[in-house]
C-alpha cells in the first residue's frame, strides 16, 4: 500500500496493526470504510495473524462519520456493515484509542472486542448536536456494555467523557500512555480464548425502572428535541427487542433524522463555525504573535468579564482603572461572579483562587506596559477611546496588539489616533463576556495580518467562537439587530402588543423576544443613548422609560413583574400607552398575523445581512450565521439567518421586503442588491459560500 492510503495494515509478531490515517481527524469516509473492510478481511484470512489492533495516526482516534458525506448518495460499505465485520472476526480486535473517539469513531471501538485508551482521550456520542442519533450500533452496543441509563446520558448530552470515566464505567478496559503497545499486549492475551464482544442480551442493561426514570428526566430537560427522543426510544429497544431488531429501530430513526431539514441546518452550523476560522486574504504562513500577558482597560461589567475570560484560559491579566475605588468595585464584581459559580458547584474553590490570582488590579494606563494584548473596554465615547489609544502608543510594548471592545464605533478612526494602526483591531465581546461564545474580531483598514491572526487565535484560546468583521456601524451582529429593533417598535405602533412580538420569536425558537430582553437589560440603557443622540426612533420604549418603567429592575417595563420580580405579565397599562401613541401619530391599529410579525422581524435583518455580505464586511454568509447563533440566541436547528433565508426561498423574501418597503415608505426595506441578484439567478447564500470556498 502507498503512503496515501487512508488505511494501512502491518503484521508483526502475529499481530496485524490496522492504522487509519485520514487527516485532519480520521473521519470515516467511504475510502476509510473500504480500507477497514479490506484490512479486516485480509487479517482474518492471514494465518500468520493471531490478533488485530485498530489504531489511528495523529491526535484524534476517529472523529466519527464523515459529516460532509451526509446528504450525498451512500457509498458502500456502510459503517454498520464495516463494524459488523470487525465484531464477527474470530480473532480478537483491540481498539487503541489515542485521542478523541466520537460518534461513529466510538461505535467502531464498540465493535472491537476490547478498548485501550490514552489518559487524554475523550469518548463520546455527540450525534444529537447534529440533529441525529448514533446510527452505527451505538444505541444498542453502549447500553449493553455500560448500562442503559448511563449510556442514554452520554448520547443525550452529547458531551464526551474522559478516559478515566470511561474506565470506571466499563467502556474501556485499560488506560495507558502507549496505547498501541498496551493494545498489542491485550490482544495477544485474548488470542485463543473466548472473545469478550459486547453481550447481545440484557445482562448489563441495568434495571428498567432506573432507565425509565433517567429517560423521563432527560426528556424533560430537552423538550421537543427529536434526536434525544429518538435516543431514548432506541435505547428502550435494548430491553424490548433482540439486538438485530434494536439495530433496525436505530437505523429507522437515523435515516429519518438525517434527512430532516433540522439536521441539514445543524451540519451547516458545524461547518460554518469552522469555516469562520479561515480568514480570506491573509498571506500564507501568517503566524500569530505570542500572547503571554494581557491587560484590560476599564473594570466595568464588560471589562471585568473580559478579564475573567483571560484568567479562565490561564492567561495572566492586568485589570486597569482610573481610580482605586472603581478598581475595587470591579474586582469585587469579578470575585462575586466566581463566588456564584462556586456556590452553583460549577467551579472549585481552589480553581477560583487560581483564577483570581491571575487577575491583577492596577490604577493607571502605565500598567499596560508589559501586556502583549491590551483590550480597551471603557464607555462608548470616541473622544475617550482616542485619548486612551493615543497614550497606549507610547505605553504598550512594541508589537503589542491594541484592541477595542467597542460595539459600534469606527475602529479605523480609533486606529488613526495612534502611530501604530497596524497593531489596532476590534475585539467585540458580548455580555456577559465570560459566558457568551461570540467574539467579533474587527479588521480595520491598517490592521496587520499577524495582529488579526493573533486575535483569532486568542479568541479560540478564550473558548470563544471568533468571527472576522469589517468596520461599519454595529459590525455584523448589532447592525442587523438594529433592523429588527426598528421593526419591533413599528409593529407596536401598527397594532401588535409586546407579547405578540415576543411570541413570534419564541415560537420560532429564540429563548426571548426583544421586549422581554429589553426589560432584562434595562429600557433606560438605550433610552439614555437615544436621548444623548436626540433620536426619536423608539417612541414606546422612550415613553416607558420616561414613566420610570425601566424593566425588571423597577418591576415594570414592557411587562409587569410585580408577581415575583422575574416573570413578566402583559400589562393593560402598557397596551393603553401604546394605543395612545398610535392614535397621536394617526396610525389606525390593525390585527397583525403572527406570520407577518415574524417576517417583519427577520426579513429586514436578512436583508441587512445581504448588504453586509455584499459590502465585504462579512466574508461568508456562514460567518453571519455564526455571529447570530453564538451571540444572539438564533435557534441552531434553523441554521442561522442566511441559511434560514435559503430555506424560505430568496424570491419570497424579496417579494415580502418590497411589500414592506412600499407599505412603510422605508427605503431600508428595499431588497439589497446581492439578495436581488441571488434571487434572480435562482441561487442561494449557501451556493455563494460554496463557490467562494472552491
Ligand atoms: C456520526 O458519527 C454518525 C454515526 O453515528 C453514524 C453513521 C452511520 N466529518 O473541529 P476542528 C473537520 S456523526 C467531517 O476544527 P479540533 C472540520 O470540519 C459525527 N469533517 O478540530 C475541520 O475541517 P477544516 C459525530 C470533520 O481539533 C477539521 O476537521 N462526530 C469531522 O478543534 C478540524 O476540525 C462529531 O460530531 C467529521 N466528523 O476538534 C465530532 N470532524 O479544517 C465532530 C471534524 O476544513 N468533530 N471535521 O475546517 C469534532 O467535534 C472536532 O472536530 C474534534 C477535533 C473534537 C474531533
Residue 424 contacts by C-beta under 8 Å, 6 or more apart in sequence? 389, 402, 403, 404, 411, 414, 415, 418, 444, 446, 447, 451
The arithmetic mean of pLDDT across residues 47-57, rounded, is 97
For residue 522, count other CB atoms closer than 10 A to its CB. Answer: 17
pLDDT at 452: 97
Backbone φ and ψ of 339, nearest 5° = -60, -40
pLDDT at 280: 86
- Please classify residue 30 by burial: count the beta carbons closer than 10 Å to its beta carbon, then call 0-12 exposed, 13-18 middle and 19+ buried: middle
The arithmetic mean of pLDDT across residues 84-105, rounded, is 97
Q: Is the pLDDT of residue 691 over 90?
A: yes
The arithmetic mean of pLDDT across residues 101-118, rounded, is 98
pLDDT at 561: 97
pLDDT at 565: 87
Residue 625: CA atoms inside 13 Å, Cβ hemisphere, count? 30
Q: For residue 197, what pLDDT band results from cuts at 50, 70 and 90?
A: confident
pLDDT digits (tens, 9 = 90+) for 398-419: 999 999 999 999 999 999 999 9
pLDDT digits (tens, 9 = 90+) for 570-620: 999 999 999 999 999 999 999 999 999 999 999 999 999 999 999 999 999
pLDDT at 211: 97
Q: Is the pLDDT of residue 2 over 70?
A: no
Distance 65 CA to ligand 1 centre (A): 8
pLDDT at 235: 98
Domains and CATH numbers, the chain: 7-259 (3.90.226.10), 294-473 (3.40.50.720), 496-584 (1.10.1040.10), 594-693 (1.10.1040.10)
Q: Is the pLDDT of residue 3 over 70?
A: no
Q: Among the atoms of ligand 1, which is closest to the Cα of residue 126?
A: 36
Catalytic-labelled residue, pool 87, 107, 250, 608: 107
β-partners of residue 296 are 319, 375
Q: Is the pLDDT of residue 324 over 80?
A: yes
Q: What is the C-alpha to C-alpha distance for residues 295 and 329, in angstroms, rounded to an integer? A: 17
Q: For residue 224, what pLDDT band results from cuts at 50, 70 and 90?
A: confident
Instruction: Tell me the ipTM for this assembly.
Output: 0.99
Q: 583 by DSSP, 3-state: which?
A: helix
Query: Ligand 1: which residues within 6 Å by Cβ?
Result: 24-25, 27, 60, 63-68, 79, 100, 102-104, 107, 126-127, 130, 134-136, 138, 271, 274
The arithmetic mean of pLDDT across residues 414-431, rounded, is 97
Q: Is the pLDDT of residue 335 over 60?
A: yes
The arithmetic mean of pLDDT across residues 191-211, rounded, is 90
Residue 485 contacts by C-beta under 8 Å, 6 or more apart in sequence? 514, 538
Average pLDDT across the chain, whole number:
96
Q: Is the pLDDT of residue 4 over 80?
A: no
Is 107 an active-site residue? yes
Lowest mean pLDDT among 23-27, 95-99, 401-405, 519-523: 519-523
Task: Give the three cell numbers for residue 310.
Answer: 483571560
Q: Is the pLDDT of residue 425 over 90?
A: yes
Q: Which of 25, 108, 258, 460 to mutate for ligand 1's pocket (most ligand atoms within 8 Å of CB)?
A: 25
Contact (Cβ atoms closer than 8 angstroms) between residue 197 and residue 109: no
pLDDT at 281: 85
Q: For residue 198, what pLDDT band results from cuts at 50, 70 and 90?
A: confident
pLDDT digits (tens, 9 = 90+) for 252-278: 999 999 999 999 999 999 999 999 999
Q: Among the atoms of ligand 1, which is closest to the Cα of residue 68?
A: 14
pLDDT at 80: 97
- Of all residues in the chain, what percent carry a pLDDT higher than 90? 93
pLDDT at 310: 98
Catalytic-labelled residue, pool 127, 250, 440, 608: 127
Q: For residue 426, what pLDDT band results from cuts at 50, 70 and 90?
A: very high
DSSP at 398: T
Closest-CA residue, ligand 1 atom 39, reads 25
Residue owning grid cell 447570530: 628
- Of all residues in the chain, what percent carry a pLDDT higher than 70? 99
Amino acid at each position: 500500500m502507498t503512503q496515501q492510503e487512508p488505511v494501512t495494515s502491518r503484521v508483526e509478531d502475529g499481530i496485524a496493526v490496522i492504522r487509519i490515517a485520514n487527516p485532519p481527524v480520521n473521519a470515516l469516509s467511504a475510502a476509510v470504510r473500504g480500507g477497514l473492510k479490506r484490512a479486516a478481511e485480509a487479517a482474518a484470512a492471514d494465518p500468520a495473524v493471531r490478533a488485530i489492533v485498530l489504531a489511528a495516526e495523529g491526535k484524534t482516534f476517529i472523529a466519527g462519520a464523515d459529516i460532509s458525506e451526509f446528504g450525498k448518495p451512500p457509498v458502500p460499505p456502510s459503517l454498520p456493515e464495516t463494524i459488523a465485520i470487525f465484531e464477527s472476526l474470530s480473532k480478537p480486535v483491540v481498539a487503541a484509542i489515542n485521542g478523541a473517539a466520537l460518534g461513529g469513531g466510538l461505535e467502531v471501538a464498540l465493535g472491537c472486542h476490547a478498548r485501550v485508551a490514552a489518559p487524554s482521550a475523550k469518548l463520546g456520542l455527540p450525534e444529537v448536536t447534529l440533529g441525529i442519533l448514533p446510527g452505527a450500533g451505538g444505541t444498542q452496543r453502549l447500553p449493553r456494555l455500560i448500562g442503559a441509563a448511563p449510556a442514554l446520558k452520554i448520547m443525550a448530552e452529547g458531551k464526551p467523557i474522559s478516559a478515566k470515566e470511561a474506565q470506571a464505567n466499563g467502556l474501556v478496559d485499560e488506560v495507558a500512555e502507549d496505547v498501541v503497545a498496551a493494545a498489542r499486549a491485550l490482544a495477544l492475551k485474548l488470542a485463543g480464548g473466548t472473545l469478550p464482544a459486547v453481550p447481545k442480551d440484557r445482562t448489563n442493561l441495568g434495571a428498567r425502572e432506573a432507565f425509565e426514570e433517567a429517560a423521563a428526566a432527560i426528556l424533560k430537560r430537552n423538550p421537543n428535541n427529536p434526536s434525544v427522543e429518538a435516543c431514548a426510544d432506541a435505547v428502550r429497544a435494548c430491553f424490548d427487542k433482540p439486538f438485530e431488531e434494536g439495530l433496525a429501530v436505530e437505523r429507522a430513526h437515523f435515516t429519518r433524522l438525517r434527512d430532516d431539514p433540522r439536521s441539514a441546518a445543524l451540519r451547516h452550523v458545524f461547518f460554518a463555525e469552522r469555516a469562520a476560522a479561515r480568514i480570506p486574504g491573509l498571506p500564507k504562513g501568517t503566524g500569530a504573535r505570542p500572547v503571554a500577558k494581557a491587560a484590560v482597560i476599564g473594570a466595568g461589567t464588560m471589562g471585568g468579564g473580559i478579564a475573567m475570560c483571560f484568567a479562565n484560559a490561564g492567561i495572566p491579566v492586568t485589570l486597569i482603572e482610573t481610580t482605586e475605588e472603581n478598581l475595587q468595585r470591579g474586582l469585587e464584581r469579578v470575585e462575586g461572579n466566581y463566588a456564584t459559580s462556586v456556590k452553583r458547584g460549577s467551579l472549585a474553590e481552589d480553581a477560583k483562587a487560581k483564577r483570581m490570582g491571575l487577575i491583577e488590579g492596577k490604577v493607571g494606563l502605565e500598567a499596560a506596559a508589559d501586556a502583549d494584548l491590551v483590550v480597551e473596554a471603557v464607555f462608548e465615547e470616541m473622544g475617550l477611546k482616542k485619548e486612551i489609544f493615543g497614550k497606549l502608543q507610547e505605553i504598550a510594548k512594541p508589537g503589542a496588539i491594541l484592541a477595542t471592545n467597542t460595539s459600534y464605533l469606527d475602529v479605523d478612526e480609533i486606529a488613526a489616533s495612534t502611530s501604530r494602526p497596524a497593531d489596532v483591531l476590534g475585539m467585540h465581546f458580548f455580555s456577559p463576556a465570560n459566558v457568551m461564545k461570540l467574539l467579533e474580531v474587527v479588521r480595520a483598514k491598517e490592521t496587520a495580518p499577524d495582529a488579526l491572526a493573533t486575535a483569532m487565535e486568542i479568541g479560540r484560546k478564550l473558548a470563544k467562537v471568533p468571527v472576522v468583521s469589517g468596520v461599519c456601524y454595529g459590525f455584523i451582529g448589532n447592525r442587523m439587530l438594529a433592523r429588527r429593533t426598528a421593526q419591533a417598535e413599528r409593529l407596536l405602533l401598527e397594532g401588535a402588543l409586546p407579547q405578540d412580538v415576543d411570541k413570534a420569536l419564541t415560537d420560532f425558537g429564540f429563548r426571548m423576544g426583544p421586549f422581554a430582553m429589553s426589560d432584562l437589560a434595562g429600557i433606560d440603557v438605550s433610552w439614555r443613548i437615544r436621548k444623548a443622540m436626540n433620536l426619536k426612533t423608539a417612541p414606546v420604549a422612550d415613553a416607558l422609560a420616561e414613566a420610570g418603567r425601566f424593566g425588571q429592575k423597577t418591576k415594570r417595563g414592557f411587562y409587569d413583574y410585580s408577581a415575583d420580580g422575574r416573570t413578566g405579565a402583559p400589562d393593560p397599562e402598557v397596551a393603553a400607552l401604546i394605543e395612545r401613541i398610535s392614535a397621536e401619530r394617526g396610525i389606525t391599529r390593525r390585527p397583525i398575523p403572527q406570520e407577518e410579525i415574524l417576517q417583519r422581524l427577520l426579513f429586514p435583518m436578512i436583508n441587512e445581512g445581504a448588504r453586509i455580505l455584499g459590502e465585504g464586511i462579512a466574508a461568508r454568509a456562514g460567518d453571519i450565521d455564526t455571529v447570530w447563533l453564538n451571540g444572539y440566541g438564533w435557534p441552531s436547528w434553523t441554521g442561522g439567518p442566511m441559511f434560514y433565508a435559503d430555506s424560505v426561498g430568496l424570491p419570497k423574501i424579496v417579494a415580502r421586503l418590497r411589500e414592506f418597503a412600499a407599505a412603510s415608505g422605508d427605503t431600508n426595506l428595499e431588497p439589497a442588491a446581492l439578495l436581488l441578484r441571488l434571487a434572480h439567478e435562482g441561487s442561494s447564500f449557501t451556493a455563494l459560500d460554496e463557490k467562494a470556498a472552491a
